[in-house]
């Protein structure tokens, strides 16, 4: 098998880096570099910019590249495309296989099949190419790449000046790619393509198309070890909304003989042919402030891909800033897209709450629900239903517990089924979550726990669609696109219920994505709170307990109690209801939510709670869009 060590990714004959350019000597970039990048689509730098995410990519490359190559070599039988499905790229099945292996190793790397190599003589694909994405690894707190609000550090001022000469484009940039390309030995050149298509049917071309001399999506590319130069080829000036059909057949040339190449993602380009060894090029793709709403516009990008992006802190302007470039072609002024609300700075409190929830799995709200959240009509509905019907529910369950005799399945399951039949006219159903468990060996199940669902009652009350969430709650739970503005749903609402004198609940996670990794998102948030004044949630949580529901003895020593009026919980994190006192019944109001990415995972298949999508009982309640 060919060696896959980093020093094998380039041929010895590759050009070496040149002396530093003005970008490296001065805090202002060379205007010639700007002109080349924004009018021709590419430029070269003599050194890779000093920016922590780029350093992180190098570290991860050295750690994982050889292992990924070994995995790809081991599944060569999966390299070919699927003749029966032309939409399946060469290497796509291999990418899925390798990604699953990396997921089991918690690598935070996702491998995908890119535009394949291309045989110009036959016009057919001649073999696969891949991309190893580090976005998931980068957004974990341990990576050192993101701050407590989940943002990357600002790009160096001189690089910001090169990429974003238009005022305001450095205000709220994003990172959409970080990783490296993977190309097998003896590969032909890649198919000519643009990474992002600028024009699309149905879009207002004057508003959303690329403006002359104003690039918005840019790639930074460099070779591992920074000792050789990338060999990417380009059709200079061939932006896909400006070029004619013959540009697709135009001669390609090597972009630049430079240690680092910066090119516009909307220009036609391709990866060059490879030599005798596996080859790789490290890349990062940055999106300007005005480019972000253009990328989000429907049809331009798969909404799933928008989940894998990271915000970048605003870049400071250099002291001698070069103003907006003049285009070489005459053009009348066009309207710029308005910044979307999602790009506006979120409150520090919302950022801090989301960071803790996504990283630790829980956030205690000691003072209870914030006033803006408590005013949500859904909260008010749960509290009114609890006040009106809690006693009747408890009496119904208690009566059946006394008459059922033998329990079926989980403790209390038969009593829950009988109570549900009696309460159905009210739109109330009773379910049995994981039961209580003895704290003494052999730690047997010791009694029932219940969940009182009023989802059907809410469906009737709200006419099939719940009112919009308070913006501050939605921004706390889901700051990323498309979770923030995609359709959200409620898995359930009602209250958790336990008999008095019960042992603690079995340690568990409610559900987790078996076929769709979590990737740092809070897909299934759970809001718990106490209605009577002076009472506190006592739910116990294993911080960072994202273990796909599996627990070990050490987890019990890590348990912490909420001891707060309200609690935000990630349902994928290990937790349990605490032991109850002598009171007859103990309850906590509850709303279980599902984000856009949670819905995708739900449809792909979840562990723990496994839905029967054909059963109306599992139907989620949609939530109307933001007000």
pLDDT one-digit tens code per residue, 504-549: 999 999 999 877 767 678 999 999 999 988 899 999 999 989 888 9
The answer to whether the CB of 61 falls within 8 A of the CB of 6 is yes
The answer to whether the CB of 574 falls within 8 A of the CB of 508 is yes
Cα–Cα distance between 421 and 414 in angstroms, integer?
11
**What is the pTM (predicted TM-score) of this model?**
0.56
Asked, as a colleague might, if the bond just before 442 is cis with ω within 30 of 0, I would say yes
Give the number of C-alpha atoms closer than 13 A to the C-alpha of residue 525, restricted to the C-beta side.
Answer: 27
Phi, psi of 599, deg, nearest 5: -65, -40
Which pLDDT tens digit goes with each residue over 425-475?
999 999 999 999 988 877 888 889 999 999 999 999 999 999 999 999 998
Q: Judge whether residue 403 has pLDDT over 70.
A: no
Q: What sections of 272-332 are H helices per DSSP?
A: 291-296
Q: How does residue 343 score in pLDDT terms, banded at 50, 70 and 90?
A: very low
Cα–Cα distance between 369 and 534 in angstroms, integer?
13
pLDDT at 434: 93
Q: Judge whether residue 321 has pLDDT over 50.
A: no
Which pLDDT tens digit goes with each residue over 556-597?
999 999 999 999 999 999 999 999 987 789 999 999 999 998
Longest Cα separation, the chain: 87
Q: What is the mean pLDDT of residues 122-140?
A: 89
pLDDT at 304: 65
Which pLDDT tens digit goes with each residue over 353-363?
887 898 889 99
Cα–Cα distance between 260 and 541 in angstroms, integer?
47
616 is written with which tokens? 């109306």
The answer to whether the CB of 181 falls within 8 A of the CB of 130 is yes
Give one DSSP letter per residue of 514-546, joined into a string: SSS--TT---SEEEEE--STT--B--EE-TT--
Eight-class DSSP state of 475: H
Beta bridge pairs of residue 260: 45, 222
Q: How far is CA 359 from CA 191, 321, 327, 545, in A?
A: 40, 38, 46, 10
The answer to whether the CB of 327 falls within 8 A of the CB of 212 is yes
- Return the closest-CA partner of residue 410 out of 456, 441, 451, 442: 451
């Amino acid at each position: 098998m060919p060696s896959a060590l980093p020093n094998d990714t380039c041929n010895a004959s590759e050009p070496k880096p040149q002396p530093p350019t003005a970008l490296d000597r001065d805090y202002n970039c060379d205007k010639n570099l700007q002109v080349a990048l924004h009018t021709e689509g590419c430029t070269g730098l003599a050194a890779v910019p000093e920016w922590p995410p780029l350093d992180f990519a190098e570290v991860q490359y050295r750690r994982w590249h050889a292992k990924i190559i070994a995995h790809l070599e081991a599944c060569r039988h999966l390299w070919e495309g699927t003749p029966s499905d032309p939409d399946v790229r060469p290497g796509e099945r291999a990418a899925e296989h390798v990604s699953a292996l990396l997921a089991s190793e918690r690598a935070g790397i996702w491998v995908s099949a890119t535009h394949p190599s291309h045989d110009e003589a036959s016009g057919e694909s001649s073999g696969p190419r891949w991309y190893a994405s580090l976005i998931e690894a980068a957004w974990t707190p341990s990576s050192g790449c993101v701050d407590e609000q989940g943002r990357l550090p600002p790009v160096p001022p001189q690089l910001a000046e090169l990429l974003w000469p238009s005022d305001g484009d450095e205000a709220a940039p994003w990172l959409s790619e970080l990783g490296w390309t993977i190309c097998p030995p003896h590969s032909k050149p890649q198919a000519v393509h643009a990474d992002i298509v600028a024009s699309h049917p149905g879009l207002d071309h004057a508003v959303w198309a690329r403006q002359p001399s104003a690039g918005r999506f840019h790639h930074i590319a460099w070779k591992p070890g920074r000792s050789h130069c990338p060999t990417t080829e380009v059709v200079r000036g061939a932006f896909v909304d400006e070029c004619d059909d013959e540009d697709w057949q135009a001669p390609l040339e090597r972009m630049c003989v430079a240690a680092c190449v910066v090119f516009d993602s909307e220009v036609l380009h391709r990866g060059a042919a490879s030599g005798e060894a596996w080859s790789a090029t490290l890349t990062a793709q940055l999106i300007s402030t005005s480019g972000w709403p253009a990328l989000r516009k429907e049809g331009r990008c798969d909404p799933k891909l928008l989940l894998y992006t990271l915000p970048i802190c605003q870049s400071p302007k250099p002291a001698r800033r070069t103003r907006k470039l003049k285009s070489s072609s005459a053009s009348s002024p066009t309207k710029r897209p308005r910044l979307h609300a999602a790009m506006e700075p979120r409150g520090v409190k919302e950022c801090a709450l989301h960071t803790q929830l996504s990283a630790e799995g829980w956030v205690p709200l000691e003072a209870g629900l914030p006033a803006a959240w408590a005013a949500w009509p859904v909260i008010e509905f749960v509290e009114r239903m609890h006040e009106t019907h809690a006693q009747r529910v408890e009496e119904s369950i208690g009566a059946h517990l006394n008459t059922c005799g033998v329990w079926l399945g989980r403790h209390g399951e038969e009593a829950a089924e009988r109570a549900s039949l009696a309460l159905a006219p009210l739109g109330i159903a009773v379910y049995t979550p994981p039961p209580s468990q003895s704290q003494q060996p052999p730690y047997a199940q010791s009694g029932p726990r219940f969940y009182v669902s009023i989802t059907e009652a809410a469906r009737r009350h709200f006419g099939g669609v719940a009112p919009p969430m308070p913006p501050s709650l939605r921004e706390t739970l889901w700051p990323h696109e498309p979770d923030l503005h995609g359709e959200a749903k409620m898995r359930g609402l009602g209250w958790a219920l336990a008999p008095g004198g019960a042992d603690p609940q079995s340690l568990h996670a409610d559900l987790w994505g078996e076929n769709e990794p979590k990737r740092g998102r809070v897909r299934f948030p759970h809001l718990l709170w106490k209605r009577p004044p002076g009472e506190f949630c006592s739910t116990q949580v294993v911080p960072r307990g994202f273990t796909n529901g599996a627990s070990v003895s050490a987890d019990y020593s890590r348990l912490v109690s909420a001891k707060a009026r309200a609690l935000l919980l990630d349902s994928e994190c290990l937790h349990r209801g605490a032991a109850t006192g002598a009171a007859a019944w103990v309850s906590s109001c509850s709303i279980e939510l599902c984000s856009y990415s949670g819905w995708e995972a739900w449809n792909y298949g979840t562990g723990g709670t496994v839905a029967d999508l054909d059963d109306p009982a599992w139907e989620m309640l949609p939530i109307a869009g933001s007000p």
